[in-house]
Amino acid sequence: MKLNFSVFVIASVCLLIFSIMFATSVGSVQVSLDNVFQSVFVCPHRPDNCGVEVLYQKIVWQIRLPRILMALLTGIGLSVTGAILQSITRNPLADPYLFGISSGSALGAVLVIWTVSSSAISITLGALIGGISSVLLMLTLAGRSATQVERLLLSGVAVSFMLGAFTSLVIYYSDPETASALLFWMMGSFANSDWGDLPLPTLTTFIGIALFVVYRRWISAIQAGDEGAFTLGVPVNQLRLAMLIICSIITAVLVAQVGGIGFVGLMIPHICRFIVGSQLHKVLFMCITLGGSFMIWVDVIAHSFLEAQVLPVGIVTSAIGSLFFFVILKTRSRI
């Protein structure tokens, strides 16, 4: 018996709420779920008489909530962009890394960090310029064949490797202290997130999602095939370019804040399609809830796996993602 989509909506929202509450309670200092609830919903209205110690309130509000919300935004942004890229290219392996968007964003951010003593350009702006430049470079490399999805994907792979090589070159010529900081940043982390880091990723991600929802019918038409979309009057080439640019902006802003985190945009959309089917609006909603929950739990693992150390988030996502695809390939090989 096929479950109704509303059942998955309720279940995924409950999972997301529980993930946020649980992640806020665990850490080097354990905070009970009751104290978390009181700190979030009661103490802001009754700060002097809410029944929670001031230390716990500071841990919840100043340390854990900003980090968890950044993880939530990252999971949402990367999952949704992965779903859109897979739809407009009709390629199940498409994600921000495959098109060189993440590599370009990382290169732009690394260059700004590398030259921070002589440049006032923010890391976010550097990553944004790098991400959009990677898309333009990919389209230039594809040339007149940019309308062909296969040529576009091959160009994206080439750009990704090329920009990754430039990033490695920058790190190679950095001093040991800077190189160490750059390597750790590239592996991804939410540890240094604070409330001031949240507005821009929040605004960028949800404006992008709103645009994806507005054009979901056109994107679905492309997903069914370019010829059918042309017949329906969809401007296929212009829409594909616009979606690539929007995805690059979202990815660049997130990469600038948290570093490089792979496999999320590749893995979560597959899981969502397996659960609710291929209808785009359903997939996008599940990417928001499951993608956010997934990154929150990854952050919990990163903080709990090693004692007195924080594991880079990118290592955890890569390990889980590679295991996921190993299981998928083994399962399909038996069919």
Q: Are 268 and 287 in contact (CB under 8 A)?
A: yes
In angstroms, the CA 171 to CA 180 distance is: 9
Residue range 204-237, pLDDT digits in tens: 999 999 999 999 999 999 988 888 888 888 998 8
Total domains, the chain: 1
CB atoms within 10 A of CB 99: 28
Residue range 246-263, pLDDT digits in tens: 998 899 889 888 888 888
pTM of the model: 0.90
Q: Are 73 and 205 in contact (CB under 8 A)?
A: yes
Q: Are 57 and 37 in contact (CB under 8 A)?
A: no
First and final C-alpha spacing in the chain: 22
* Helix, strand, or coil (residue 11): helix
In angstroms, the CA 245 to CA 247 distance is: 5
Give the domain CATH number at 311.
Answer: 1.10.3470.10
Residue range 15-55, pLDDT digits in tens: 999 999 999 998 878 888 888 888 787 777 666 666 677 78
Q: What is the pLDDT of residue 210?
A: 96
Does the pLDDT value for residue 266 go beyond 50?
Answer: yes
Length of the chain: 335
Res. 289 pLDDT band, cuts 50 70 90: very high
In angstroms, the CA 210 to CA 216 distance is: 10
In angstroms, the CA 161 to CA 252 distance is: 17
Q: What is the pLDDT of residue 49?
A: 64
Q: Are 226 and 152 in contact (CB under 8 A)?
A: no
Average pLDDT (176-203) is 86
Does the pLDDT value for residue 191 go beyond 70?
Answer: yes
Q: What is the pLDDT of residue 263?
A: 87
Q: Which residue range forms the structural domain that includes residue 328? A: 5-190+198-333
Q: What is the pLDDT of residue 118?
A: 45
Phi/psi of residue 45, nearest 5 degrees = -95, -25
Residue range 132-162, pLDDT digits in tens: 888 888 888 877 655 567 777 788 888 888 9
